[in-house]
Chain A
Amino acid sequence: MGILNKKGQLQIQETIIAVFIFIVLIMFGLVFFYKVQSSSIANEFKDFQMEKNSIDFITLGELAEFSCSKAGIKESCIDVPKLLIFSSFSKEYFEKFGYKNITIYQVYPKTNNVRCTAVNLDNCGSWEVYFKKPSKVTSKIVRDAPVSLYFPDKDEYTLGIMVVEAYNV
């Protein structure tokens, strides 16, 4: 009877250990699955943000707030006087642009990189169009694109590069 008792106890202990190990393996599997899913969701969100930034970026120069037109016909260029006016109202566009820094630099004909204001239009070469940086930045994406800049007072075109820095919080 004593031997049977001990055998029974041993069997129970074996079963408990086997079940415990099984549960530990299941837990490892669940933790691993959770980590993989989290990482997958985070990657999908990053892809979504990059696509959204791409779309915003591609359509930036076509906004009515910047684009130039002649006799009501839209042209593929940016009206430079509009840039100065826009930068004073840029805070209203946070919902549309989010945390970004949008700057345009004139590259041809080459000029200095002095920031353009209403008083130094003839001797400047960069326009800070929109600036909103968060207090904490986890990462940023920087993209640039050529833009045609139109000076209606001189009826002249120059070439610029629009640099967009998109900040991730």
Chain B
Amino acid sequence: MFKRAQIEMIGLVVVVIILVIGLLLYVKFSVLRDEVKQDTASENAYVINLMNGIFNLKLCEKDKIKVDEAIIKCFNEEQVCGEEACNYVKTELKTIIAGIGIKKYKNYSIWVTKGDNNRTIMNECKTGILAHTTIVASDKEHYTAYFRSC
């Protein structure tokens, strides 16, 4: 009788172990799932494409100057379309960005650097996705333009 009870107990233990393993598997696959991976490469490509697209656009009907060239004029405190370059570029960029109507990003920061000097054109983002490009001016000087969206 004693042996029979022992055998019955072992059977019960085996069943409980199988049930516990099943429960652990369920918890692992349904509760402790892997996080959804964020597609950062696509986000970066989006911002780079947006930056290139905006910088290629031309401003000012009479001068037909590209945005990246206007940014360089802003850095050098020159004029564009009869106005102070930085203010003109900032106003035009806001108009362009509003005209594009991209809902993904609401705010942008754009600044340009050369060596240790930098000039900010728009400053609406402290964090966000950053892209940059090198602009070579007509005098072969190299500038780096930064474009951040958030």
Contact = CB atoms under 8 A, between A and B. Distances in A.
Contact of B42 (A25, A47, A143, A157): A143
B96 interface: yes
Contacts of B26: 32
A32 B27 CA distance: 13
Given A146-B46, A159-B53, A54 B58 contact: no
Give the one of A28, A40, A156, A159 with max B CB within 10 A. Answer: A159
Given A54-B42, A148-B53, A156 B58 contact: yes
A77 B14 CA distance: 67
**In which size bucket is the chain A interface?**
35 or more
A108 B99 contact: yes
Interface in A113-166: 143, 145-148, 150, 156-160
Contacts of A110: 99
Interface in A28-52: 28-29, 32-33, 36, 39-40, 47, 50
Nearest to A61: B49
**In which size bucket is the chain B interface?**
20 to 34
B13 interface: no
Contacts, number: 77
B99 A145 contact: no
B81 to A, nearest CB: 17
Contacts of A108: 57, 96, 99-100
B53 A32 contact: no
A58 B18 CA distance: 48
Contacts of A66: none
B42 A33 contact: no
A18 B14 CA distance: 11
A166 to B, nearest CB: 13
Nearest to A14: B8
B65 interface: no
A36 B22 CA distance: 11
Interface of A: 18, 21-22, 25-26, 28-29, 32-33, 36, 39-40, 47, 50, 54, 57-58, 61, 76-77, 107-110, 143, 145-148, 150, 156-160
Given A32-B26, A36-B29, A159-B56, 8 more contacts: A32-B25, A33-B25, A36-B25, A57-B45, A107-B101, A145-B49, A147-B49, A157-B58
